[in-house]
Chains A and B, each alone.
Chain A
Amino acid sequence: MLKRLTPRLIIIILAIAIAGILLYPTIQHEMLSPEERQELREQGKLAELESKIIRRGLDLQGGIHLVLEVDVPTLVNNIARNKSQLFEEVFQQAQSRLNEETTFLNEFLEVANQKELRLVRYFPDRGIQNEEIISSLQEEATDAVRRALEIIRNRVDQFGVSEPTIQKVGNRRIIVELAGIQDPARARELIQTTALLEFKLLKTPEVTNATIQKIDRVLRRRQGDVAEALGAQDTAETDTTIEEGGVAEDEAVSVDELFGGMEDETATDTSEDSTVVVDRQVFEEKPFTALLRNVQGQIGVPQKNRNAVNRILKMEAVQEVIPPDAEFLWSAGPEVLPTQAGGADEFHLLYLVNEEAGLTGGVVTDAQATLGGSGGQAAGQPVVYLDMNAQGSKTWSRLTGANIGRRVAIVLDDKVHMAPNIRSKISQGSTMIEGMANLEEAKDIAIVLRAGALPAPVDIIEERTVGPSLGSDSIQKGTTATLIGLLLVLVFMALYYKLSGFIADFALVLNLIFILAILAALGATLTLPGIAGLILTVGLSVDANVLIFDRIREELRKGKTVRAAIDSGYGNALRTIIDANVTTILAALVLMQFGTGPIKGFAVVLFWGIVSSMFTAIFVTRTIYQMFTENKTVKKLSI
């Protein structure tokens, strides 16, 4: 008679065996000591093992979750050529009309059509009709997302995070998940950096000086605007403490000389943030110059004056006197530089450079971060060495050869990292960048240079960070709660249904093992809501057995034999179990569809928990009953 039972037992044993095989890597991984883990990592075997285990979600191990969106307006603006006033107007208006329901390109098209702007003027080779051009730009944007995805993947891979998740969602978004990151700000920087590397020639000191003087003149004509630009009602003139006016009387023509004369004028810091440090007499004559300092022959801007200078440079009238082929750029970070008076102060450097880059970073083939060798100027300083491809080397060689004696700014994302003098023609294409705060920053810059520039800037529109300490708290509490919940249910079932309760308990434990095995097979990530799903499944999965057992009890009360009661108990309950579970599965499927990250994790566990509980609670328990009742007549059932 055991014949009927054999196929059932084989299926169960097979299922347990498969679950064991699926869970083995996870158990193996859990047992590893940190040293062994490191060893495996070095052998390159860790990634393989990690691909087979149940991964812990960010909320359980700490990490950062970013949703990035490609900045389409900037992309469009970058592509456009020969921009006119009208174009700028349309662009601005499209951007201001942007809201939650619209996309930039749609608004752009609409405004352009309204104002009868022919886009072909600005976007040649993309069709004639505005509609064609917009759809071509749409493709470009989609493509930009795809390229951004690749580039970010490259950067993250080199950053050295285990098991990063980088995926595209929808048309414009990219999700990046980095587990176990200690420094979210650094990761964010690394991902978001556009990494547009440009080499731009500095304007000659003569042009620079002339421009600064022109700005002075513009400002003097418009004192009121300056006051506004400086941000406070009672501008520098009242707020600034002035010491020893003497030297400033020197009205030297050269900017260098003028700055030199101002050095011992170091105005004292006042506590008000809106104050700037200027020399009053110079300010009246040369309001812009007064904000600047000569720092070792370069234009330095004291920390306090930076915003004021920025605001002045953005003024329309000021923009007009800056040569059309030039732009002002800031240095990458503040530098502590000795002043001529002998002290030291924090300065931002300001450069007037050619707007058009002599060479861009697309030609970079390799970038390495290291500490500058002894003897050189950058001895002991973090530097990045660049190698260029043949074409880049050629351009670089021509550029340097033709401009010996001039300075070239090495610009990353519109920030000048260094601006060395070209001493000789550089023909082999290798170049060094300095000006990084520390070796870590140099390494990150090298990574982004190697991976290439993003086709358009990306905005972070969602960020979730979980510190590692919270993660370990969560996993410990979650696991404890699961075990206690499980234990309570096991005890309750055993008390309430006696021996049959134990059978249900067995099925429940088996169910948990199966769910974990399925999670491992799916390569799923276990999150805190996932653990909640597990606990809920524990509660719900006994439901099938409760339904069956209550039916059996009913049948027994009606006076049926044990075997008949079991048979009709299972028979009657099955329909109910399916109906009841289908609705929960529907809810789980909806959650899987709509949910992001953690909610999806919850839904996945709930879904598979129900599916697996059908097998364990119905098939496995039935088989166990059959083993008991197959060959003998059981008089009494412990239920």
Chain B
Amino acid sequence: MELFAEANYKILEKRKFTAILSVVIISIGLLSILFHNGLRLGIDFEGGTLMQIQFEESVEISDVRSALEQVGLENASIQQFGAPNEIIIRVLRLEEQEGIKASEEIQATLSENIPGNPFNVRRMEQVGPKIGSELRGAAVLAILSALLGIVLYISIRFEFKFAIAAIVALVHDILITLGVFSLLNLEITLAIIAAFLTIVGYSLNDTIVVFDRVRENLKSLRRATYFNIVNLSINQSLSRTVVTSVTTFLVVLVLYLGGGEVIKNFAFALIIGVVVGTYSSVYVASPVIVEWAKRSESQGKLSKKR
């Protein structure tokens, strides 16, 4: 079996359309973030208490809510989690020591107000606000240092404009993923940040394979135009891009479907990342290089014409 064996798609010709498409998708995401008053940060970053509770029999969210109101936790968010007898309770932003109290109060009030339906605490997370803000800082630092390392590496191995094109593709991928998370009102947790960094690595991986081909073709096809070389390179690596994306997509999909509730959002971020990362390595990163080359060409720096 062989896909895209002698592929010769006019990919770069579509760059105006894809650029508009990308801008529209990113704008929708950003608007959604604005509309939601920022991203929905999980307790990892905000501080607070999360409890996953499994009841013996299925339970009404409204019962749980009215029980929690008894102890002044009317702001808690309550969600069904997987099965109808399992819920997640989130209480955001608590003072350091109150966090511990919250979990105990929740348990006490649930056993008092929902009698005859015993439960067990499957998971409990309490993060003090101080730790939360530290983690937020650490996450930003991590993403920035990863980006810096990547710019340096690509600048050394390729050219600075390749590095910038790769970063553009990356930021594109992360903005879209963030936008989707905002649209679906999913929580950004530490695990999701890990997923983002993986997307960063994956999307770059894809992009660099194409760049590598461009670099190789620039050397061997001295006569061809920049435009044609890039288009050819994308086509030549298309088979590999698609095959690797398919295998990665397969496993991430299995993870999403069968990996359990805890890892579902994490896998979901990766699914978006794989799809968007594949798209961006073809339709975002390379067009940026071509556009860049065209601009500098008009200033007489490059002799290769379209």
Interface residues of chain A, those whose CB is within 8 Å of chain B, are 59, 67, 100, 184-185, 188, 459-467, 469-470, 473-474, 477-478, 480-481, 484-486, 488-489, 492-493, 495-496, 528-529, 531-532, 535-536, 538-540, 542-543, 546-547, 550, 553-554, 557, 572, 575-576, 579-591, 593-596, 598-599, 602-603, 606
Contacts and interface: CB of A to CB of B under 8 A. Distances in A.
A473 B209 contact: no
Nearest to A192: B100
Given A466-B122, A582-B153, A584-B202, A484 B263 contact: no
Given A465-B123, A529-B191, A582-B153, A100 B201 contact: no
25 contacts: A459-B96, A460-B97, A464-B125, A465-B121, A465-B125, A467-B121, A478-B259, A492-B247, A496-B243, A528-B260, A529-B266, A532-B255, A532-B267, A535-B255, A539-B247, A539-B249, A546-B244, A547-B240, A550-B240, A579-B157, A579-B212, A580-B209, A594-B138, A598-B191, A606-B198
Contacts of B149: 586, 589-590
Interface stretch (B15-23, B31-39, B60-68, B126-134): B126-134
A463 B125 contact: yes
Closest 8 CB pairs of A and B: A587-B201, A539-B248, A485-B251, A461-B128, A584-B201, A477-B260, A594-B142, A470-B122
A572 B201 CA distance: 22
Contacts of A595: 142, 190, 194
A499 B249 CA distance: 23
A590 B197 contact: yes
A57 to B, nearest CB: 12
B126 A492 contact: no
B287 interface: no
B228 interface: no
A550 B204 CA distance: 19
B8 interface: no
Contacts of B123: 464-467, 470
A470 B262 contact: yes
A584 B273 CA distance: 14
Interface in B210-267: 211-213, 216, 236-237, 239-240, 243-244, 246-252, 254-255, 257-260, 262-263, 266-267
Nearest to B136: A100
B250 A463 contact: no
B202 A528 contact: no
Contacts of B177: none
B204 A584 contact: yes
Contact of B270 (A536, A575, A585, A590): A536
Contacts of A585: 201
Contacts of B204: 580, 583-584, 587
Contact of A587 (B99, B157, B200): B200
A481 B239 contact: no
Contacts of B96: 459-461
Nearest to A547: B240
B218 to A, nearest CB: 14
B134 to A, nearest CB: 8
Most chain B beta carbons < 10 A, residue from A59, A478, A576, A606 = A576
B205 A580 contact: yes
Contacts of A185: 104
Contacts of A529: 191, 194, 263, 266
B76 interface: no
Nearest to A554: B236
B141 interface: yes
Contact of B146 (A485, A586, A598): A586
A586 B262 contact: no
A575 B158 CA distance: 12
B248 to A, nearest CB: 3
Contacts of A486: 251
Contacts of A542: 244, 247
A112 B142 CA distance: 37
A594 B128 contact: no
A579 B122 contact: no
B255 A481 contact: yes
B146 A553 contact: no
A459 B208 CA distance: 47
Contacts of A591: 142, 194, 197
Nearest to A173: B131
Contacts of A536: 198, 248, 251-252, 270
Contacts of A588: 201
A463 to B, nearest CB: 4
A583 B153 contact: yes
Contacts of B243: 496, 546, 550
B54 A580 contact: no
B171 interface: no
A493 B154 CA distance: 30
B112 interface: no
B108 to A, nearest CB: 12
A602 B122 CA distance: 22
B113 interface: no
Given A481-B259, A485-B251, A532-B266, A583 B208 contact: yes
A477 B191 contact: no
A589 B200 CA distance: 13
A532 B259 contact: yes
Nearest to A98: B130
Nearest to B145: A590
A579 B208 contact: yes
Nearest to A476: B260
A268 B110 CA distance: 27
Contacts of A539: 244, 247-252
Contacts of A575: 212
B25 to A, nearest CB: 23
B254 A484 contact: yes
Contacts of A477: 258-260
A100 B204 CA distance: 35
A459 B101 CA distance: 13
B129 A100 contact: yes
Contacts of B247: 489, 492-493, 538-539, 542-543, 546
A593 B194 CA distance: 12
B263 A478 contact: yes
Contact of B251 (A489, A496, A589, A603): A489
Interface string B147-158: 001100110010
B132 to A, nearest CB: 9
B150 A100 contact: no
B250 A488 contact: yes
B194 A540 contact: no
B194 to A, nearest CB: 4
A349 B32 CA distance: 58
Contacts of A188: 100
